[in-house]
Chains A and B, each alone.
Chain A
Amino acid sequence: MPPVLNITWKELLLNFRDRSGLILMFIAPFALILVIGAAFGGFSSETSATIGQIPVVLVNHDQGEFSTYVIDAFYSEDLSDLVSPSLNSDESQARLAVDNDQAAAAVIIPANFSESIYPKALQNGEFPNNSNDNPFQRETSTIEVYRNPSRVISSGIIRSIVDTILDRFVSGGLTTEINILQMIQFGLITLDQAPEIGEKLGREAANNPIENDWVSLKTENFSSEPQQTEFDWLTYSVPSMAILYLMFTINAAGRSILTEKNQGTLSRMLVTPTTATHIIGGKMLGAILTGVLQMTVILLGGTLLYSIQWGSYFGLILLTLAIVAAATGWSMIIAAFSQTPGQASAIGTAITLTFAAAAGNFLPRGALPEWLQNASLITPNGWGLEGYTNLSLGNGFESVLPAIIALFIMALVLFLISSLIFRRQYQ
């Protein structure tokens, strides 16, 4: 085994033999993830295993025919395993059911829902001539999903079901079908032309879904604070705690340069036929492998616990490597500027906590002031949180590429600076 790998192996042996180190590495972050889960998600009544038969109350204020599409969708065979819908004509009762945690969400269909899709005027044959592009004048309507904030996952599922149904109305075949029916009804086109024009309309609709926002979706939690609808504490807590504890682990690894200096083993290595660069390199490789293992365990555990869907696993792996490398760079800088392990520990803890607070490990990153969100991009935490959040929202590899590049550049710069300092100290 070449000396560099020999040192790496020794680092791993020591790291995984140190019981308090292991607790800090794996137990503590999971404990916090679970605490956050209990505090924000009520996950005891809601683990991925119990999702299914999500209770949802449907309120239909609409007399028209199109709201029944929505209702029928909830009662369809496809969704019968997932949701357990009930109809209630009283909106306030429905909201109360959600507030009392009897339902994950209430879906409230407004009175003008059908009108917004197929205006009465058209049904009565009143054909407005004021526009060539969009011959049908419609009012907009808003379906509300009233969410139960203690059932983050299942109310999120309800929301996405409504989303999908509305998608079908707005950009999918349903409106196209209606449009063509109307056109034939009013003698604007003949039956022969229907397929061709239908296809054209459909394609237009698919390309410009925004122009067709006759129906919109409103999601509401009963808390009065404006909430980002996509933000989910449970999902967020996993990368957040993983990054926080990664920094602690990696700092300990960097600090071990000074511990070894104190206990004489660094000097002893320096009188073997091995250069200082190789010694530091071997130790850093050990730190990186330890960090990658820690991140893998925490992210994997969190993913299983909260059924997180990552947008790109390739992105996830690269982002994890990048953040571990950047964290290692910081720990080396800290070790290079410290004289004793105690000093490195104090500086390391201060930096770790400052970085975590500034980058949003303890708060949603989106809740931080704009300037702090930008300033905290000098930390691995900032880029890491942005990257993991993007991936957990289902975004693909491109969405994390900037974070990956930034983190690797950060790592490179820190490695260079600290190795210059180490070279002056040890050779």
Chain B
Amino acid sequence: MPLIETKDLVKKFDNFTAVKKINFHIQQGEIFGLLGPNGAGKTTTISMLSTLLKPSNGDAFISGHSVVEEPLLVRQIIGVVPQEIALYDDLTAEENLKFWGRMYRMSGKELTRQIEKVLEQIGLTDRKKDRVETYSGGMKRRLNIGVGLLHQPQLLFMDEPTVGIDPQSRRKILDTVIELNQQGLTVLYTTHYMEEAQELSHRVGIIDHGEMIAIGNQQELTEMVGEYDTMRLHIQAQEDGQQLAARLKEIPEIIEASTADHEIVIITPTAEDVLPTVINIANQLNIKIRSIDIQEPNLEAVFLHLTGRALRD
């Protein structure tokens, strides 16, 4: 039996459908990455799986328990790391952990021991007596994760846990996730960073406009794009992007060209061969290229291939 199984999960907000009949399952011990751009429906999906939002239609089962029918049983099994930091600023890290631990009916020595362990894991032991309001963004993020781990859940939902923090803290968080997974924790991890999904996940679901457009392990997904390379042109002026992308699309060897933040993402089977042509066109248009980056097939390419848009738009 899969640990998570969804059945035609739908969420409507008034007449806007945020999640459209999503079906997937996650096995015990997996790290499953839910990859999608802003507004794709990642948080909405996690909210339904964690019993916070009632599905408009369909159902999901956590360890066989319906999120609609048996929400209290589901909540015993799961831990949640919300996208927005949800802590009490006026309490210390230790007091926050104590409060959230007791919400899971932990107490006494067990609670104290778990608090110490988690503080160690998130590297906040020496700041545990300080109020959260005095913490940096990265420290708050780490504590936000710590609260989710405290009661040793079987399944952890992590909703973009690394947004807005420095590379070092980010690295630490990713390592923690991998370590916990090795100890047996199943993780559903949402992100819009292709690299994170790629590094962490055993399997990835790509979600866009509330639909699961692809699902599989990385090899399966990249095979959808074929043996294509991704080429990124970093350009000086954002405004030039559209014009250059339009011209590049006319080149037969270029499958896709799309603009993102100061970037043009190109999908092509032969990156080295088209490179001179690309530079030529840029020169003709008087567009300054600051750097060029060529990558083997990856999830970004998959997303671009499937949607015609770059992941970060």
Q: How far apart are B227's CB and chain A's nearest CB, in angstroms?
A: 43
Known: A13-B95, A267-B52. A272 touches B86 (CB 8 A): no
Query: Cβ of A272 and Cβ of B103 under 8 Å apart?
Result: yes
Query: Cβ of B52 and Cβ of A272 under 8 Å apart?
Result: no
Query: Cβ of B52 and Cβ of A270 under 8 Å apart?
Result: yes
Q: Does B269 interact with chain A (Cβ within 8 Å)?
A: no
* Apart from A265-B88, A273-B103, 17 more pairs, CB < 8 Å: A2-B105, A3-B103, A6-B99, A7-B103, A13-B90, A13-B95, A14-B91, A17-B90, A18-B90, A263-B84, A264-B84, A264-B85, A267-B86, A271-B52, A271-B78, A271-B80, A272-B104
- With beta carbons under 8 angstroms apart, the residue of A6, A7, A263 that contacts B86 is A263
- With beta carbons under 8 angstroms apart, the residue of A6, A18, A264, A271 that contacts B102 is A6
Across chains A and B, which 9 residue pairs bring their CB atoms closest together, nearest first?
Answer: A264-B86, A272-B103, A6-B102, A268-B86, A273-B75, A264-B84, A271-B50, A271-B80, A265-B86
Q: How far apart are A21's CB and chain B's nearest CB, in angstroms?
A: 10
A residues less than 8 Å from B86 (CB atoms): 263-265, 267-268
B residues less than 8 Å from A10 (CB atoms): 88, 91, 99
A273 and B91 alpha carbons, distance in the complex (Å): 22
Q: Does A188 interact with chain B (Cβ within 8 Å)?
A: no
Q: How far apart are A341's CB and chain B's nearest CB, in angstroms?
A: 14
Enumerate A5-40 residues with CB–CB distance to B below 8 Å: 6-7, 10, 13-14, 17-18
Scoring B residues 67 to 78 as 1 if CB is less than 8 Å from chain A, else 0, what string do you get?
A: 000001001101
- With beta carbons under 8 angstroms apart, the residue of A14, A17, A264, A272 that contacts B82 is A264
Q: Does A210 interact with chain B (Cβ within 8 Å)?
A: no
Query: Cβ of B80 and Cβ of A273 under 8 Å apart?
Result: no
Q: Can you name the residue of chain B whose Cβ is closest to the Cβ of A270?
A: B52
B residues less than 8 Å from A268 (CB atoms): 80, 82, 86, 100, 147
Q: How far apart are B86's CB and chain A's nearest CB, in angstroms?
A: 3
Number of interface residues of A (CB under 8 A): 22
Q: Does A275 interact with chain B (Cβ within 8 Å)?
A: yes
Q: How far apart are A239's CB and chain B's nearest CB, in angstroms?
A: 31
Query: Cβ of A271 and Cβ of B100 under 8 Å apart?
Result: no
B residues less than 8 Å from A273 (CB atoms): 72, 75-76, 103-105
Q: Does B26 interact with chain A (Cβ within 8 Å)?
A: no
B residues less than 8 Å from A1 (CB atoms): 102, 107
Q: With a 10 A CB-CB cut-off, give which of B84, B85, B99 has the most chain A CB atoms.
A: B99
Q: Does A274 interact with chain B (Cβ within 8 Å)?
A: yes
A273 and B80 alpha carbons, distance in the complex (Å): 12
Query: Cβ of B90 and Cβ of A271 under 8 Å apart?
Result: no
Number of interface residues of B (CB under 8 A): 26
Q: Does B63 interact with chain A (Cβ within 8 Å)?
A: no
Scoring B residues 104 to 117 as 1 if CB is less than 8 Å from chain A, else 0, what string do you get?
A: 11010000000000
Query: Cβ of B82 and Cβ of A274 under 8 Å apart?
Result: no
Known: A14-B88, A263-B86. A271 touches B75 (CB 8 A): yes
Q: With a 10 A CB-CB cut-off, give which of A3, A6, A17, A18 has the most chain B CB atoms.
A: A6
A residues less than 8 Å from B75 (CB atoms): 271-273
A residues less than 8 Å from B88 (CB atoms): 10, 14, 265
Q: With a 10 A CB-CB cut-off, give which of B50, B51, B91, B105 has the most chain A CB atoms.
A: B105
Query: Cβ of B90 and Cβ of A14 under 8 Å apart?
Result: yes
Q: How far apart are A377's CB and chain B's nearest CB, in angstroms?
A: 38
B residues less than 8 Å from A272 (CB atoms): 75, 100, 103-104
Q: Does B194 interact with chain A (Cβ within 8 Å)?
A: no
Q: Does B87 interact with chain A (Cβ within 8 Å)?
A: yes
Query: Cβ of B51 and Cβ of A3 under 8 Å apart?
Result: no
Q: Does A269 interact with chain B (Cβ within 8 Å)?
A: yes
Q: How far apart are A8's CB and chain B's nearest CB, in angstroms?
A: 11
Query: Cβ of B102 and Cβ of A3 under 8 Å apart?
Result: yes
Known: A13-B91, A14-B90, A267-B52. A274 touches B84 (CB 8 A): no
Q: With a 10 A CB-CB cut-off, give which of A2, A267, A270, A272 has the most chain B CB atoms.
A: A272
Q: How far apart are B130's CB and chain A's nearest CB, in angstroms?
A: 14
A295 and B105 alpha carbons, distance in the complex (Å): 33
Query: Cβ of B72 and Cβ of A275 under 8 Å apart?
Result: yes
A residues less than 8 Å from B95 (CB atoms): 13
A189 and B234 alpha carbons, distance in the complex (Å): 126
Q: How far apart are A255's CB and chain B's nearest CB, in angstroms?
A: 15
Query: Cβ of B82 and Cβ of A267 under 8 Å apart?
Result: yes
Q: How far apart are B255's CB and chain A's nearest CB, in angstroms?
A: 41
Q: Can you name the residue of chain A whose Cβ is closest to the Cβ of B75?
A: A273
Could you jot down 12 A-B contacts, CB within 8 Å? A3-B105, A14-B91, A263-B86, A264-B86, A265-B88, A268-B82, A272-B103, A272-B104, A273-B75, A273-B104, A274-B103, A275-B72
Q: How far apart are B191's CB and chain A's nearest CB, in angstroms?
A: 19
Q: How far apart are A338's CB and chain B's nearest CB, in angstroms?
A: 20
Q: Can you name the residue of chain B whose Cβ is closest to the Cβ of A15?
A: B90
B residues less than 8 Å from A17 (CB atoms): 90-91
- With beta carbons under 8 angstroms apart, the residue of B51, B105, B107 that contacts A271 is B51
Q: Can you name the residue of chain A whose Cβ is closest to the Cβ of B77?
A: A273
A395 and B8 alpha carbons, distance in the complex (Å): 68
Enumerate B110-164 residues with CB–CB distance to A below 8 Å: 147
Q: How far apart are B272's CB and chain A's nearest CB, in angstroms?
A: 48
B residues less than 8 Å from A274 (CB atoms): 103
Enumerate B34-68 residues with CB–CB distance to A below 8 Å: 47, 50-52
Q: How far apart are B71's CB and chain A's nearest CB, in angstroms?
A: 9
Q: How far apart are B213's CB and chain A's nearest CB, in angstroms?
A: 27
Q: Can you name the residue of chain B whose Cβ is closest to the Cβ of A279?
A: B103
A residues less than 8 Å from B78 (CB atoms): 271
Q: Can you name the residue of chain A whose Cβ is closest to the Cβ of B81?
A: A268
Q: With a 10 A CB-CB cut-off, give which of A1, A267, A273, A275 has the most chain B CB atoms.
A: A273
- With beta carbons under 8 angstroms apart, the residue of A6, A18, A263 that contacts B103 is A6
A residues less than 8 Å from B82 (CB atoms): 264, 267-268
A155 and B149 alpha carbons, distance in the complex (Å): 69
A263 and B140 alpha carbons, distance in the complex (Å): 13
A13 and B86 alpha carbons, distance in the complex (Å): 17
B residues less than 8 Å from A7 (CB atoms): 103
A residues less than 8 Å from B105 (CB atoms): 2-3, 273
Q: Can you name the residue of chain B whose Cβ is closest to the Cβ of A18?
A: B90
A residues less than 8 Å from B103 (CB atoms): 3, 6-7, 269, 272-274
Q: With a 10 A CB-CB cut-off, give which of A2, A7, A265, A269 has the most chain B CB atoms.
A: A265
A residues less than 8 Å from B99 (CB atoms): 6, 10
A residues less than 8 Å from B51 (CB atoms): 270-271
Enumerate A236-295 residues with CB–CB distance to B below 8 Å: 263-265, 267-275
A residues less than 8 Å from B85 (CB atoms): 264
Q: Can you name the residue of chain A whose Cβ is closest to the Cβ of B87?
A: A265
Q: How far apart are A286's CB and chain B's nearest CB, in angstroms?
A: 12
